[in-house]
Structures are given as structure tokens and as C-alpha cells.
Amino acid sequence: MGSMIKVLWFTNTASLAAARLNRAVVGGGWIESLERRLQDRDDIRLAVAFAHGKKPQPEKFVEGRTTYYAVGDVRSRARVFLGRHLAMNDDELFLWSCIDVIRDFQPDVINIFGTEKCYGLLSNRTAVPVVIHLQGLLSMYEQNYMPRGVGATTLLRHSGAKSLAKATSLLHQYWSFLAAGRREKKIFAVNRNFIGRTDWDRRATELLSPGARYFYGSEILRREFYSATWDKHPAETKTFISTIQPNPYKGLETVLECAALLKQRPGFSFRWKVAGFPPGHDLVRLFEKKVGVRAADVGVELLGGLGPQQLLAAELDADVFVHPSHIDNSPNSVCEAMLLGMPVVATDTGGTGSLLVSGKEGILIQDGAPSSMAAALIDLTGDYGYAAELGRNARRRALGRHDPDAITDNLIDIYTQVIKKKEAWHSKPAVSLK
């Protein structure tokens, strides 16, 4: 192997090619940030492959120093429709198209981002060494997918007739989640190299893929969050902010219950902004009915999706960042708030405990406990000096953890180790069976 490493990524987003394809960017900002860093490296030649369009052959184009492959879904409409209704992982045709990408680019190493899609099944179809960046772990999230008191029947009751007919309902989303979790277990079974960043995903890797190699690798966050620092002065009306996607396990009902408790406190004026959740979403109606609280009645403002600059402005104007999720690996929303130097209140679930020390860099509370969340918010907003100290400590921790240069160097070192391990395995002399 020479000094130049050819790296092929398979990602769930189009990364920096999204603008060219007029494709909305939902999540994956850390992948874009990492791509920018690798583009500056003379020792890396990068290609990024992702699902896009319907063309039978992957569409190849080059921008800057990156080669992109838009891999089409060539299934018929009827096949896609049936797959959604039956929650089938119908991946075979798409995987063959991904093999065409590997053959064309001829990488030294393949880096797959996440286990949510089918890309991890490529490792037993190619001789190229593969390493998987862990994101969410669906098979581990499964037991926390439904909040307390919510079941499949609840999802069915709150799914509209149109979404049921199209197989896009809350219930179908749940079935699809379970199917993806089953596929994820297969991915762990056939892969031996993983990159993670929390004690929780390290232990999960050993459980799901015994003996696999686990590498620590942090993430480069969105660049907007490195250039600003939280310095909110206390105001009579407190502002809280949360960034949660419209999934049942993200804890919207905890936000509503907590806000209802705070609303009962005499003289406590607040507003709570929730980015990510659109106000008309089926889950909003479900949780409002479940807890008997309307968001608008308790100061909760559902903002829908926000771009990086909009979210940055909203967080800098808030007093506390609140993360209410019932399960997460290492939520980048928490990491970005810490990078800004915001005081953070977060549920102690999954890998969140690896991100901050409670009482020093933020406050961790038990999951599904709106009263504990309310108490923590009252504590922080009543003692601005303490809140600011937590924020400063959080920023110091985050600046070290998310240092772009260190993360880039570490990733390239991981690539080198994975390639060398594969080369060493191939160079072993044949074992006689006599």
C-alpha cells in the first residue's frame, strides 16, 4: 500500500453533494464536516456513495476532490409499495449497485456510516476491508421505542387513513424500525471493525459482534457551532430549547409533562422551543392526548426543522438546552450545545452519560421523570452562576472531544490499521489440511 489511501464512504445522506442534487439535508452535518476535512488531505482520495434517484447504474460525478456515486433504487413502484406494507428489507438489487461502485472506485478501505441501512451487508460481498461508524443502534433502541403507556394499538389509532393506505403511518414506521433492527443484527454478525464513541456503544458492539475490533472515534460537529459561545444573561422569562426528531422515543411527552409542572409554579415565566418536531405531526396529537396537555397551553413551541444558523441563533438565545430522549447513543444536539458552552439537562440513557459528568458539565436526570427535569430547570435558572459554570466546563470538554485535527488524524490511523490487518490476514501462509 502506498502513501495515498483510497477511501469509499457509504452514507445515509448525500453529504456535500446535496446542494448539487437539490436534496434537502436532514441530519448528517457531522459527515459533511468530516468530508471537508478529508478533502484537504493529500494522503486521502475520497469517494462518497449514497442512495438517490432511480437510475439502473450509479451516477458518478466529481466535485472538488471528492468522487460521488448516486446509487438508484431500481425497484418497481409496486415492489416498493409492497415492501413498505410488509416491512420487508428488500435490499438485494440496491446492494448489487453498491458492488458496482466498489468495482469502479477500487478502494483500499470502505467506511460505512451507520447500521440503519443495508450498507453493512456489503462486507461479506467484497474483499475490501470494511469499518462501520456506529450511529444509532436500532436493535438496542427497540425496547425504548415506545414510551410508557404507548403500544402498537396506540400508534394505529393515531394513524390517518391516508398514511395507513400508503404504509407511511406511525404503525408502519414502527414495523419498519423493527425490521431494520433485525437487519442490523445481521450487519453486526458479518462485520469485525467498528468505530464508536461511548461506553454504551462499545458494550453493545461486544454483545452484538463478540470479539470484533472497536475503535474510538469522535465526530466533527457542524462548523457554525465552533465559532460562537453562549453568553445568555438572565431574563424574567426563561427560554428552554430542545432538538428532537419526530420519533416516539425522543421524549416529547416528557417535555409536555415537565412544562405542565413548571406552568403551575407561581411566578415562573418560561417558553420552551422544540426544534425538529413539526406542529401538525401525528405524534404531537398522540402525546397531547396521552398526557392531557396541549403544547400551546404550556408554552411549548414546535418549530419543525431548522437550518444550522436558525438553530444556532435559537440556542444562543436560550437559558438551558434540554434533551429528553428515552434512548440515544451520543446525540450531536447535546454535543453542539456543550460546544457552545450552554448549560445542559439530559436524560441519562444509552451513551449520554459518556458525554458529560453530571453536576460538573451539565445535569443528568433519570429517564421519563418530568418532575426531576422540572426541578433541574428550576435549579439552573435560579442560580445563573452555577449554570454558567456548567456551560464553561461543558465547552472545555467538547472542544477537546470534537477537535477537527485530532479526529481526522485518528480516523486515518484507523483506516491504516484496518487495511494492515486485512493485508496481514491475506499474507498468512496456507494451512495444510493433511
Distance between alpha carbon 423 and the CA centroid of its chain, in Å? Answer: 32
pLDDT for res 426: 45
Q: Which residues of 349-381 are buried (b: 16+ CB within 10 A; e: fewer)?
A: bbbbbbbbebeebbbbbebbbbebbbbbbbebb
Rounded CA-CA distance 326/261 in Å is 19
Return phi, psi of residue 5, to 5°.
-105, 125
Q: Which residues of the chain have pLDDT under 70?
A: 1-2, 24-28, 423-434
User: Count of alpha carbons within 13 Å of 336, Cβ hemisphere only?
Assistant: 24
Dihedral class, residue 114 (left if φ above 0, else alpha if ψ from -120 to 50, else beta):
left
pLDDT for res 28: 61
Three-class SS state of 127? coil
Return phi, psi of residue 24, to 5°.
-65, 140
CB–CB of 275/311 below 8 Å? yes
Radius of gyration (Cα) for the chain, nearest Å? 23
pTM of the model: 0.93
Rounded CA-CA distance 59/340 in Å is 39
For 378, residues 6+ apart whose C-beta sits below 8 A from its C-beta are 262, 265, 268
Would you tell me how many other CB atoms lie within 10 Å of the CB of residue 43? 12
Residue 195: strand pairing partners: 133, 215
Rounded CA-CA distance 25/18 in Å is 7
pLDDT for res 139: 96
pLDDT for res 424: 63
Separation in Å, CA 187 to CA 87, 149, 308, 350, 417: 18, 31, 32, 20, 21
Cα-Cα-Cα-Cα dihedral sign, residues 105, 109, 114, 115: positive
Residue with cell 459518556: 354
For 90, residues 6+ apart whose C-beta sits below 8 A from its C-beta are 75, 79, 80, 83
Rounded CA-CA distance 2/5 in Å is 7
Residue 242: strand pairing partners: 274
Rounded CA-CA distance 205/208 in Å is 5
Three-class SS state of 386? helix
CB–CB of 59/145 below 8 Å? no
Domains defined along the chain, listed by start: 5-220+403-427 (3.40.50.2000), 223-401 (3.40.50.2000)
